[in-house]
Structure 1
C-alpha cells in the first residue's frame, strides 16, 4: 500500500483549485500576519469564558523571546507553538504543488527563529522555556509539549519534502532525540504519555520518511504506556507539589485523556474528540507496521462506535462544549453541539489509515463526508475567517441570550484565541491530493472523483470531470498492466462504467474493478438525486425531522433566503417536486435546491390548549450546501427540518 506524493498529483478541479489557490495566495499570508501580530484582527475566544486568551496571537513573538531576539513574556495558550508548526506544514504542502518564492522566504525566516529558540539539548517549547523551565516534561497531564513536538515533526517533513532544506528537519530530529532520552521503558525514564495525543502519529510519519527505527519504537511506546498506570498523572502532580515546583492540584479526568486503560483495550470513543481521533489514527497506522491484533481490533470497535452512534451527518464529532468531547450513543444535539473543525480533520485522518488497513468503501464515504462538509465549513470563502464550532442549527436570538450556546458563533471570526483550527484547515486542504488515489499491491484505487493527473514511473492516470457540478468522470490510463478500482458512491444512482482498452472484472456494492493494460479510457456516469435523510429514532434531537443531501454535500437552509425558517415544515413526500439550479452568487458555483414546503403560523402568547389546528401556508424552501452557510452575513441556519403533520 502506498500514498502518492503531492508532487505526483496535479489537481485540475475547478472546485478544489479554488481552495488550493485561496490558501496559497490569501490564507497563508493572512495567517502569518496574524501569527506575527502585524495586523489588527478580532481575535475571539473559542467559547464564552473570560479566562481564555484573546486579542492577539503572539505565537511567533513567543519564539523570538525564547530565541533572545525579543524581550517579554509568553502570551496565549501553552500549545501556541503548534499554530506556527501547522502553518509551516501547510506551506510545505503548497510548495510541493506550486513554486512560490515569497512564501518560501517567509517560511525560511520563521524556521530561522524556531531554530534559534531551540535549546542545546534539543528541547523546544516556548511556554515552558519562558515560564516554567523547571517543569519540562513534568506536567504531561496538560503540557502539550509532545503535542507541539508532533506538529513540529509534521511541519518539518512537509517542508523538507518540498524544498530539500534540512534546517527544520534537523530541529525536529534533535527534539526527537531529547524525547527519546527522557521517555521509555528504561529505569529513570518517564513512563507516561502527553495528555494530548499527536506525537504518536507524527513519529510514525517520521519513520515513514526517514526509516529511523527509533521513531517506530517510540511511537509504539507512547501507545503502549498510555493508561498502563492510570495513576501516572496523579503521581506527577503530587511529585511536583512535593518538590515545590508547582501548587497546581487539579482533578485528572482519565476519560477525557483516554488514559483510563491502554488504547488496545479501549472500545468506545470517549473524552476529548481530537485527542481520541489523533490517538486512533496513530493506532491504525501503527498496525500497518506491527502485528498487533488487539490494537487493530480496538481501532475497528472505536470506528464503529463513532460512525454508528456518534457521528453527525456533516462528518462532525464531539457533541458537547464541556471538554470538546464525545458523549453517549445517539446524543447528537444540533444547536449546542461542538463539532470542532479539528475533530472532523482528525476523523479524516483516522478513516484514511483504516482504509489503508482494509480498503472498504465505508472509510472513503466518511472521508468524503468530512471533506465536503465538516472541514470546508471551518473556513469562509475569503480564506480569512474561521469557525471553531460547526453547529447544525443556529437561532440568532437564542445564541445571543443563551449562555449554553456561547461557543456557537453567528459568523466566522477573524481569528481565535485557541487558533488550532485555522492552520489545521490550511494544512489539511493543502494536502487534498494525497487522498484522491491509493496504490495497493496489485491495484490503484480512485477514492475521490477529483479532476487531476497522477504521474508515476510506471503509469499515468488522468481524471477529467467537472464534479461536483457534473455527473460524469472520464478516466484515461497509460502504462503497465494494472487494476483500477473505481468507487461507487453511496449517494449516486444509475452508476455505470464503460471502458475501452480494459475489462470490468469485479463489481461490489461500493467498487468496480477494471483490468487495464497499456492504454485505456473509462467513462463513469451517474446521477446525484436529492436524498432525504432520517436519523435513528434514538437520536432525540431529530425525531420527526428530515435532512437533505445531494452528491457529497449535506444541505441547509439560512434565514437570509428563508425568513420563515424556524416555522418551516417539509412534506413527507415530495418525490421529484424540487428544482436544482446552478447558483453563481458566491465565489464558488453551487447547486441551489428549492423544494415545496409550508410554514405554520405563530400567535401571541406562549401556549394554546385544545386549540384548532391551522392550515399551513405554502412556501418554497431554498437550500444551499452546508459548507457555504454564514458567507453572506449573520443568518440563522438549520440542517434538520420538521416534517409536515399529515392526517392519513
Structure 2
C-alpha cells in the first residue's frame, strides 16, 4: 500500500511539519530557541558518551524527546528526502552508539545522574518507556532509509532487557509504570521477525495488574503526596488487563496500554484481549471523552476521574492523550471494521490533536481546555503546563515531537487493506496504490474535506479486478449519498457497521462519488455532564467550533443562542489561513450594568452577531477568552 496525500488541508500541515517544525524542534533539543525552556536532551547524550563534562538536565524521560523527533524526521524522509536532515540523524545515532553501555543499556539519566538506581524505579523511572520510544525511532529510520546502525543499537538494548526481564524464575518480574515499550517491541518484532521481542511485549502486558504488585514496594509509589490519585489504577496495574472494564488512571498510559493490547490481539489472534478492548473503548467514548476527542479530564495525575466528569475550563486533555486515542482507534479498525473507531479517530485528529500546535508549527499546547479565561487562569488553576497561549517549548516536552511524528506518518491512517477489501477511513485528496491479488489498483481521491463533504474517487487499473471498496459513513452525516458511475446506490443494502461496502468487478476509470452533506449542527451532552447543562456546542462536519474573544468580545459565557437562530457556514480565505467560519445571531446582557455585583433580574437582552471558528485553530490570533459550550436560550 502506498498513500500519497495531496490535499489542501492535511498535506500543507505535513509539509510545514517537515520544513518548519522538525528543524525548529531540532533547535529546541539543542537549546537554540531564544525564550524557550531549555531541553539539554542532545547535550545529555554527549555527557553520557563522555564527550562533554556536566550534569544531566531535564526530566527523567528526556531521552524520549530525541527519540520522537528522530521518528518524526524518519517518517518525513519517505516523501521528502533531505540529505542534510539524514546526516543530522546519523550523527545523533552515532552519538547514541557511543553513549550505549557495554551490556546494551542506553539511558542518559540513569547513566549520568543516578547510575546506582538503574532498574530500581519502575513506578516513575521511565527506563522502559524511553527504551520503547528509542526502539520505535530505530524502526522508523530503518524503514525509511534501510540503514541498520540505529536498529542494531536498539536490538542490543532489547536483547539486554530480554535477558534480565521476563517470566523465567531468574529474571525480574516487572513492567514499566508508563506503558510504551509494549508497542515498540511489536514493531521491532515485525521488522526483525525475532519472536522473542513479541513474546517480551506479551509478557509485559500479561504481567501488568497481577497482585500483589511489586510497584507498591517501591519508594516512589503513590507520588510525592502518596495520594489516591497515584494508586495502582494510575498505572493501569490494579487488575490484569482482561479484567479491566473501565478506563482508569493516567490517560496517556492507558491508551498506550490499550494500543499494545490491540497489537498483541492482532499478532496472536487473541479474542479475549479484543473483548476487553471493546469494553474499554465503549467506556472511554461514552462516558469519559470530550466532544473534541480529548481524554483525561484532571490535571492532578493527568488522569481519568469518574464517569461524566468533563469540566471545560479545567479540562486537562493532554495532546499526547488524543494522539494515543488516534493510535488506539486505528488499531481497532485493523481488528474490526466499525465506524465507531473511525469516527473517534477523525474527531480526535481534527480537534484534540491539531489544537496542540500553532498554525506556524512552532508553538504548542500541552493542555487543551474547552473554555479559557486568561485573566483568572493563573489564580484559579493549580495545574502544571496550563497555558492560555501556546508556548515555544516545555520542560516536559513530550507533546511537541509526538504531534510531529503523527503528522509525518499520517498517510498510514487513511486506509486498511484485508485481502481484496480496501477500506477508506479518513477523507482527503490523495493518490493511493494497492496490490489486490497480484493486480494493481490506484484510487485517486479529490475533495475539499473537511470544508466540504463532496468526495470523488476515480479507480485506475490495467485489468478488471474483483474487490470490495469500503467507505466510512461519518456519524455526523444525516443524509449520505453514494453513486458508482452515476448510479445511486441503495445504502441500506450495503452499509455494515457504518461502512458502505461496494463489491464489484472494477474497471479502469470507474468513478465513485460520496456526498456527505455538511450542515451546522447543535450538539448537546448527556445531562450527567453537569458543566454543560443548558448549553450546546456547534459542529460542522468533523469539526467542533468555538467562540473566541477576538471575534465576539469578552465575557463569552454571557452569550446565549436563541433556539431558532440559524448559522451560516462560509469559507473565508482571510481568516486563519482559510477556514469555514460559522456566523449567526446571539444575545448578551444589556448595557445597563454599572458597578453593582448583584441586582434584581432584568429580562432585557441585546442581539449581537456571533462568529465561531474551528476549535483546533483557536489561539492563533490574539490572546483572549475561548469557549466551546454556549448557553442556549
Counting only pairs closer than 5 Å after superposition, residues 244-259 of structure 1 correspond to structure 2 as 253-259=231-237
For 2:13 and 2:212, locate their aligned partners in 1 and report how far apart those are by CA, in whole Å.
44
Question: Does residue 499 of structure 1 match 2:484?
Answer: yes
For 2:140 and 2:258, locate their aligned partners in 1 and report how far apart those are by CA, in whole Å.
22
Change (3 A) 1:267 1:22: same
The structure 2 residue matched to 1:293, chosen from 259, 262, 271, is 271
Deviations 1:227-276 (A, max 9, x none): 213330233449x9xxxxxxx99676211111111111111111100001
Question: Does residue 453 of structure 1 match 2:431?
Answer: yes
Change (3 A) 1:61 1:405: closer
Change (3 A) 1:406 1:105: closer
* Structure 1 gap segments, 5+ residues each: 44-55, 241-247
Tell me the residue number matched to 1:563.
Answer: 553
**Residues 12, 452 of structure 1: 8 Å contact kept:** yes
Tell me the residue number matched to 1:52.
Answer: none
**Residues 578, 593 of structure 1: 8 Å contact kept:** yes
Counting only pairs closer than 5 Å after superposition, residues 462-473 of structure 1 correspond to structure 2 as 462-473=444-455
Tell me the residue number matched to 2:403.
Answer: 425
Aligned partner of residue 527 in structure 1, secondary structure: coil
Tell me the residue number matched to 1:115.
Answer: 97
Change (3 A) 1:234 1:400: closer
Change (3 A) 1:523 1:336: same
For 2:456 and 2:353, locate their aligned partners in 1 and report how far apart those are by CA, in whole Å.
27
For 2:615 and 2:364, locate their aligned partners in 1 and report how far apart those are by CA, in whole Å.
15
Tell me the residue number matched to 1:380.
Answer: 358
**Residues 459, 511 of structure 2: 8 Å contact kept:** yes
For 2:350 and 2:484, locate their aligned partners in 1 and report how far apart those are by CA, in whole Å.
29
For 1:579 and 1:624, locate their aligned partners in 2 and report how far apart those are by CA, in whole Å.
12
**Residues 496, 524 of structure 1: 8 Å contact kept:** yes
Counting only pairs closer than 5 Å after superposition, residues 306-385 of structure 1 correspond to structure 2 as 306-385=284-363
Question: Does residue 618 of structure 1 match 2:607?
Answer: yes
Aligned partner of residue 271 in structure 1, secondary structure: coil
Tell me the residue number matched to 1:141.
Answer: 123
The structure 1 residue matched to 2:246, chosen from 259, 263, 268, is 268
**Residues 361, 487 of structure 1: 8 Å contact kept:** yes
Aligned partner of residue 228 in structure 1, secondary structure: coil
C-alpha displacement at 1:406, in angstroms? Answer: 6.0
Question: Does residue 223 of structure 1 match 2:195?
Answer: no
Tell me the residue number matched to 1:50.
Answer: none
For 2:233 and 2:362, locate their aligned partners in 1 and report how far apart those are by CA, in whole Å.
35
Counting only pairs closer than 5 Å after superposition, residues 195-206 of structure 1 correspond to structure 2 as 195-206=177-188
Calculate the TM-score normalised by the size of structure 2. Answer: 0.94
Change (3 A) 1:136 1:439: same
Aligned partner of residue 232 in structure 2, secondary structure: coil
**Residues 481, 488 of structure 2: 8 Å contact kept:** no
* Number of residue equivalences: 614
**Residues 493, 529 of structure 1: 8 Å contact kept:** no
* Structure 2 gap segments, 5+ residues each: none
Question: Does residue 490 of structure 1 match 2:495?
Answer: no
For 1:403 and 1:481, locate their aligned partners in 2 and report how far apart those are by CA, in whole Å.
58
**Residues 55, 112 of structure 2: 8 Å contact kept:** yes
For 1:553 and 1:113, locate their aligned partners in 2 and report how far apart those are by CA, in whole Å.
43
The structure 2 residue matched to 1:208, chosen from 186, 190, 194, is 190
For 1:496 and 1:130, locate their aligned partners in 2 and report how far apart those are by CA, in whole Å.
61
For 1:70 and 1:131, locate their aligned partners in 2 and report how far apart those are by CA, in whole Å.
14
C-alpha displacement at 1:461, in angstroms? Answer: 1.3
